[in-house]
Every structure is written in C-alpha cells, then in structure tokens.
Amino acid sequence: GAGVSQSPSNKVTEKGKDVELRCDPISGHTALYWYRQRLGQGLEFLIYFQGNSAPDKSGLPSDRFSAERTGESVSTLTIQRTQQEDSAVYLCASSYMLPGQPSNSPLHFGNGTRLTVT
Amino acid sequence: QKEVEQNSGPLSVPEGAIASLNCTYSDRGSQSFFWYRQYSGKSPELIMFIYSNGDKEDGRFTAQLNKASQYVSLLIRDSQPSDSATYLCAVNGAAGGATNKLIFGTGTLLAVQP
C-alpha cells in the first residue's frame, strides 16, 4: 500500500492479557517509530528503529512493553499483562533516514491502533 | 523542563485572521523542526518543516525558526474554520547523537471562529 498500515484498528482486551500491535511501514522507509497518545494528550515517544535495530527504546514505559522489527519491514509492539493505564492510541510512523544523520525526513503516520483495556 | 513546550490553548481566532502558534525546545543541538496538524480522532499530518534560521513560507503557512532563542513558530494567514485542529510541534535529536527520535510537544488547539 501507499501509506503506513496498522492493525488492528481497534483492540479491546481484558486486564492481564497480552496484546500485539502491528505496523507495516511505507516501502523503502528505513526508520520506524512507535508513539502512544492517551486521550486528550500529546504524542509520547516509545521506541524507534533504524532498520531492524532499535537505537533508542528509552520511551518504553516498563518491561511489559517490547517491540521488534524484521529488516526494514513490519514491526510489532507487544504489551504483556496489560493494565488499564495502557489504554491509548498507539501510533506508528515511518520515514527515510540515513544512519548517523539527523532526521530531516518527515514522519508519515498510520491511522493508529486504539487499545482499550477493561 | 519539558523537551518541547507548547501552550495547550485553546487559541481562538476569527476567520480571516492570522493565527500564531509557538513552540520552545530545550535541546540546543536540535537540527530539524516540524509542524504537524491533528484533527480530532485522526493521525497527525505534516504541515511544514524547517531546518535553518529564518522564515519559510508555504501558501498560507509560514514557519519561523530562531535557534539562538530555541524557538519555532507557525503562522497561519487567512485562517479558515477548516484550520481548526491541534497543531503539534516536533523536534529531532542533535546530529551525531545516538538517537534520532522525534519529540513532540503536547500541541496547541486552534479554533477558528466563522
């Protein structure tokens, strides 16, 4: 597809369950970002990938959160033992970025996954 | 101090007026600056980016950057009701650093009154 694709678009889960969110970036984009946006709040950085390595995962809120990426393709964000405070929209974005160079390529966002933990 | 700060608003302007949105950042080594627009319930979309000090114009939008003051702004001329949205300022990490993460401000809600 032409844009960043995220699935599922909506996910309702019970507290304590694990969830997996998927992001398919724009073809050829080397960098991939995950952000979290709680209702009425700004975008909270979680992690970014350059290729399949994660130079910065400083935003992951706890060890319940993990992410991986296969090459310069699909990424999955996994939340284990979900809590109600995990409820938010999880946004994925991709951009073309050369390693070691400052990011001057705009991010292209997917439509997000709205996660509700009951 | 937050890394990227914006006034949350709402900023209310009449139709046809100039809307001025402001953003300050803490990392003096930041290289790239972006403005995104986010409609309620939608994902952010890029409005403009700026890398050099001074003004950059694109249609009704002008981005202004002052690295010495660590300040970036967005002016919207001839504001329209369709411009009503939250405007997010985003700043990248310093060059040569281990990270290129893009940090977003919390956004300014703009309301253009018809």
Q: Give me the residue from B42, B92, B105 closest to A102, CB to CB.
A: B92
User: Residue B101 and residue A56: Cβ atoms within 8 Å?
Assistant: yes
User: Residue B99 and residue A45: Cβ atoms within 8 Å?
Assistant: no
Provide, as residue numbers in chain A, all residues whose Cβ is less than 8 Å from the Cβ of B94: 102
Closest residue on chain A to B50 (Cα): A104
Do the beta carbons of residue A36 and residue A44 sit within 8 Å?
yes
Q: Give me the residue from B88, B100, B105 closest to A103, CB to CB.
A: B100
Residues sharing a CB contact under 8 Å with residue B59, sequence separation 6 or more, in sequence order: none
C-alpha span between B86 and B4 (Å, rounded): 15
Q: Mean of the per-residue pLDDT values for chain B? A: 90
Is a pLDDT exceeding 70 seen at residue A101? no
Provide, as residue numbers in chain B, all residues whose Cβ is less than 8 Å from the Cβ of A101: 95, 100
Is a pLDDT exceeding 70 seen at residue B100? no
Confidence category of residue B96, pLDDT binned at 50, 70, 90: very low
Chain B: closest CA distance from residue A82 (Å):
23
Length of chain A: 118
Condensed to tens digits (0 to 9), the pLDDT of residues B40-73 reads: 989 999 999 998 999 999 999 999 999 999 999 9
Kindly report whether the peptide bond that precedes residue B14 is cis, defined as omega within 30 degrees of 0.
Answer: no
C-alpha span between A85 and A43 (Å, rounded): 15
